[in-house]
Amino acid sequence: MNHPVQTVRVGLGDRAYPIEIAHGNLEQVAQSLGALRPISQAIVITDEVVAPLYADRVAKLLRQAGIQTTVLSVPAGEASKSIQSAEQLWQQILAAGADRKTVVVAVGGGVVGDLAGFVAATFARGIDLFQIPTTLLAQVDSSVGGKVGINLPDAKNMVGAFWQPAAVLIDTQVLATLPEREFQAGLAEVIKYGVILDAEFFAWLESQGAALLERHPAVLNHMVARCCRLKADVVEQDEREETGLRAVLNYGHTFCHAIEAATGYGQFLHGEAVAIGMLCASRLAERLGRIDASLTQRQHALLTAVGLPTQVPDVDHRRLVDLMAHDKKVEHGRLRFVLPSRLGHVELVGGVAEADVLAALGEGTT
Amino acid sequence: MNHPVQTVRVGLGDRAYPIEIAHGNLEQVAQSLGALRPISQAIVITDEVVAPLYADRVAKLLRQAGIQTTVLSVPAGEASKSIQSAEQLWQQILAAGADRKTVVVAVGGGVVGDLAGFVAATFARGIDLFQIPTTLLAQVDSSVGGKVGINLPDAKNMVGAFWQPAAVLIDTQVLATLPEREFQAGLAEVIKYGVILDAEFFAWLESQGAALLERHPAVLNHMVARCCRLKADVVEQDEREETGLRAVLNYGHTFCHAIEAATGYGQFLHGEAVAIGMLCASRLAERLGRIDASLTQRQHALLTAVGLPTQVPDVDHRRLVDLMAHDKKVEHGRLRFVLPSRLGHVELVGGVAEADVLAALGEGTT
């Protein structure tokens, strides 16, 4: 390993945990797991794409370290975040002879992490979860912070828990095999951190521009570690999304979720819809006089530089607004948005007029 | 109300909650709920037996207080603690327009409380749970302490969470409609508290004897409040059953679970199997020289006085031992028992020889 391990510590009292970030540290998985406590059994949960790439390797390393290891694989894709998948995994974990000291090792992207996390949170009333995210999106977002869950047929992430991992191992080398489009989609969430929390980081991303797509180890390590630290700062202050602070992470996501739902979750990757959603939210903030146009333009330029879509798709905008009214972030029927007030700072804004929302959407299609 | 409200406070930091115990306080349900925080929507989860007796009344009182209330009813009985029931409830709660501020009100026995609690723990990553237990067993045990969950086809309570209620309302008047056999079964857990934690309480129960079955309000209130306080003391010190302390509550339960499994969960009510299990554990403690026979005799006399079974059923004892080896309290394959060392005090004892377990079972059939 040429690049040293960076450790981001998520300070959550008795639920605190380390995120270890390096280039090539997957080979140290048994040591990282063993550093938590003596482990005698692990259940590796992965998907059929990641299994041959990384999860089988993880299982081999764990077995070499004397840990009884079972690999359970689900089909790749969002459809696996289902009650049926959870039920099958619970049964398989039981059949593998797991007990309360068994640890679940999630190796994969957001779907695997959310599903495996939910299963870990609920098997035997909760067993330890070790996250090994293998997509950029999962490394900078979903593997950190403890949100786990599955979808109901009509509502994404509607069933779940806050279940903090015991540790997160991030090997940025695994991003080498990530398809270009998925890597770009992950960059949308990276850029989001700059907009909502860290103007300096946003400027650094601008200075890299399209070079971000080259995936240099040092760039990846810095980028991922910074995002994890920023997310950890938020999660430490509002673990269960109760004070509204954690909601800042949802910048662009109210628009994003409506766009994903309206397009049947097939047209866009999540990060792509986030990119479009951030620009909608930014335009909305402009309309409300909270920012000037230059901030929207800077986001547009950076998102475009890394190849992300920026146009609202050709769907009925009223339908998008209706879908937003069903978003979990609505409380007691009130529509709320996370909107920037300057680069690196956002606020939760309630009581936004529908006309302004429609206008923010409309400009995106021109 | 002739009898004042007794409040048992479960001190769990930011998860602390009150248990309000009285005779007739169901009529104050809206005030109790409103004391938590302003509530605009409630989902009452109940079963088809309790709905017409109490849950419909609760819903009416909540609606009169201006709370939008939906009643969801499952079939009575253990079969409702299933993934299918949970899935149906999640969907129904979503369809009712629930959001993160909606509260689940569980009105019923242990099955309803466990199922509704699991659904509350996982809907939208966890919403508030208000427990209104209507059986003696649920009032003194399952409604307090935060254990919620459902069964897998081959393993009871294998999927679940620790999800503390926001409050518990116990109306001992509702016990008037509880069938005699269920009331007796609840007394097994009451007697258990005396054995494991409180010799004075055990002696008080002995002094009441068969009069316990008369369900006098003052007796019920004292009995339930004492059990809740004893359980709260344990839960406060070991919320997630990590230190072994909470395991003391499982006195008799390793035998009990095996007996329940071996008899297909049909022959005995849970409390009845607990009664038999406690005597098995007590005989095991005798064999190991931890107590003398008089303690077993006192338990036997009290359990018999309140009409509980004491004989191990006619099943293969080796099968019972095999079933114990699959109990969740086994860690890394080691069989452990909670055994009394004197009245009011139990210890977790590991490495017990199978021959001693068989002997403790065997004496029960003679």
Same domain, B207 and B135: no
Same domain, A168 and A185: no
Is residue B47 within 8 Å of residue B74, measured between CB atoms? yes
Q: Looking at the annotation, which residues of B are catalytic?
A: 125, 147, 189, 231, 241, 246, 250, 253, 257, 270
Same domain, A239 and A355: yes
Query: Band of the pLDDT at A119, cuts 50, 70, 90?
Result: very high
Whole-number Å distance between alpha carbons of A245 and A277? 19
Asked, for residue B93, whether it belongs to a domain, the answer is yes
Residues A123, B159: C-beta atoms closer than 8 Å = yes
What is residue A167's predicted lDDT score, i.e. its pLDDT?
97
Query: Band of the pLDDT at B301, cuts 50, 70, 90?
Result: very high
What is residue A52's predicted lDDT score, i.e. its pLDDT?
97
Q: Does the pLDDT of residue B2 top 90, yes or no?
A: no
Q: In total, how many domains does chain A have? A: 2
Q: Does the pLDDT of residue A25 top 80, yes or no?
A: yes
The closest alpha carbon to B171, from B29, B45, B17, belongs to: B29
What is residue B281's predicted lDDT score, i.e. its pLDDT?
98
Same domain, A172 and A184: no
Q: Looking at the annotation, which residues of A are catalytic?
A: 125, 147, 189, 231, 241, 246, 250, 253, 257, 270
| B142 to chain A, closest Cα gap in Å | 15
Q: Which of A67, A125, A322 to mutate to test the interface with B (most CBs of B within 10 A)?
A: A125
Same domain, A68 and A205: no
Asked, for residue B1, whether it belongs to a domain, the answer is no
Asked, for residue B267, whether it belongs to a domain, the answer is yes
Asked, for residue B241, whether it belongs to a domain, the answer is yes
Same domain, B68 and B188: no
Rounded to 5 degrees, what are φ and ψ at B327? Answer: -70, 145
The domain boundary, picked from B176, B210, B227, lies at B176
Asked, for residue A207, whether it belongs to a domain, the answer is yes
Q: Does the pLDDT of residue B83 top 90, yes or no?
A: yes
Whole-number Å distance between alpha carbons of A141 and A113? 11
What is residue A2's predicted lDDT score, i.e. its pLDDT?
53
Query: Band of the pLDDT at B366, cuts 50, 70, 90?
Result: very low
Query: Band of the pLDDT at A243, cuts 50, 70, 90?
Result: confident
Partners of residue A149 on adjacent β-strands: A160
Q: Whats the size of chain B, residue-wise?
A: 366
Asked, for residue B221, whether it belongs to a domain, the answer is yes
Same domain, A220 and A348: yes
What is residue A335's predicted lDDT score, i.e. its pLDDT?
79
What is residue B331's predicted lDDT score, i.e. its pLDDT?
55
10 Å CB burial of residue B53 (0-12, 13-18, 19+) is middle
Same domain, A171 and A184: no
Asked, for residue A1, whether it belongs to a domain, the answer is no
Residues A124, B331: C-beta atoms closer than 8 Å = no
Mean pLDDT along residues A22-41: 95
Q: Does the pLDDT of residue B103 top 60, yes or no?
A: yes
Mean pLDDT along residues B136-157: 94
Q: Does the pLDDT of residue A26 top 80, yes or no?
A: yes
Query: Band of the pLDDT at B40, cuts 50, 70, 90?
Result: very high
Same domain, A208 and A258: yes
Contacts with B83 from chain A: Cβ below 8 Å: 83, 87
Contacts with A149 from chain B: Cβ below 8 Å: 122, 125
The domain boundary, picked from B176, B193, B221, lies at B176
Write the pLDDT tens digit of every residue in A307-335.
999 999 999 999 999 999 876 555 555 67
Whole-number Å distance between alpha carbons of B3 and B170? 13
B43: domain CATH number? Answer: 3.40.50.1970
Q: Does the pLDDT of residue A294 top 60, yes or no?
A: yes
Which residues numbered 228-257 in B keep a CB inside 8 Å of some CB on A? Answer: 240-241
The closest alpha carbon to A257, from A281, A279, A233, A274, belongs to: A274
Q: Whats the size of chain A, residue-wise?
A: 366
pLDDT-wise least confident of A72-86, A220-234, A345-359 = A345-359
What token pair was written down for A196?
A: 């909502």
Mean pLDDT along residues A45-68: 98
What token pair was written down for B130?
A: 């208000």
A252: domain CATH number? Answer: 1.20.1090.10
Same domain, A282 and A303: yes
The domain boundary, picked from B176, B207, B231, lies at B176
Question: Distance from first CA to last CA of chain A, Å, rounded?
Answer: 48
Strand order in the sheet with A103-108: A6-10, A17-22, A167-171, A129-133, A103-108, A41-47, A68-74
Partners of residue B170 on adjacent β-strands: B21
What is residue B99's predicted lDDT score, i.e. its pLDDT?
92
Same domain, B88 and B120: yes
Same domain, B335 and B270: yes
Write the pLDDT tens digit of every residue in A157-205.
999 999 999 999 999 999 999 999 999 999 999 999 999 999 999 999 9
| A269 to chain B, closest Cα gap in Å | 23
Residues B332, A121: C-beta atoms closer than 8 Å = no
Mean pLDDT along residues A265-279: 94
Show the beta-strand stretches assigned E in chain A.
6-10, 17-22, 41-47, 68-74, 103-108, 129-133, 147-152, 155-162, 167-171, 336-342, 345-350
Question: Does B88 contact chain A (CB < 8 Å)?
Answer: no
What is residue B283's predicted lDDT score, i.e. its pLDDT?
97
User: Following DSSP, what letter does each residue of B104-115 receive, concatenated?
Assistant: EEEEESHHHHHH
Asked, for residue B330, whether it belongs to a domain, the answer is yes
What is residue B332's predicted lDDT score, i.e. its pLDDT?
54
Residues A159, B330: C-beta atoms closer than 8 Å = no
The closest alpha carbon to B345, from B263, B245, B238, B275, belongs to: B245
pLDDT-wise least confident of A103-117, A323-337, B7-21, B231-245 = A323-337
What token pair was written down for B255?
A: 């035998």
Whole-number Å distance between alpha carbons of B305 and B310? 11
Rounded to 5 degrees, what are φ and ψ at B183? Answer: -65, -45
Domain that includes residue A81, residue range? 6-176
pTM of the full structure: 0.94
Secondary structure of B195-247 in the HEC alphabet?
Answer: HHHCHHHHHHHHHHHHHHHHCCHHHHHHHHHHHHHHHHHHHHHCCCCCCCCHH
Mean pLDDT along residues A215-237: 97
pLDDT-above-90 percentage for chain B: 87
Contacts with A239 from chain B: Cβ below 8 Å: none
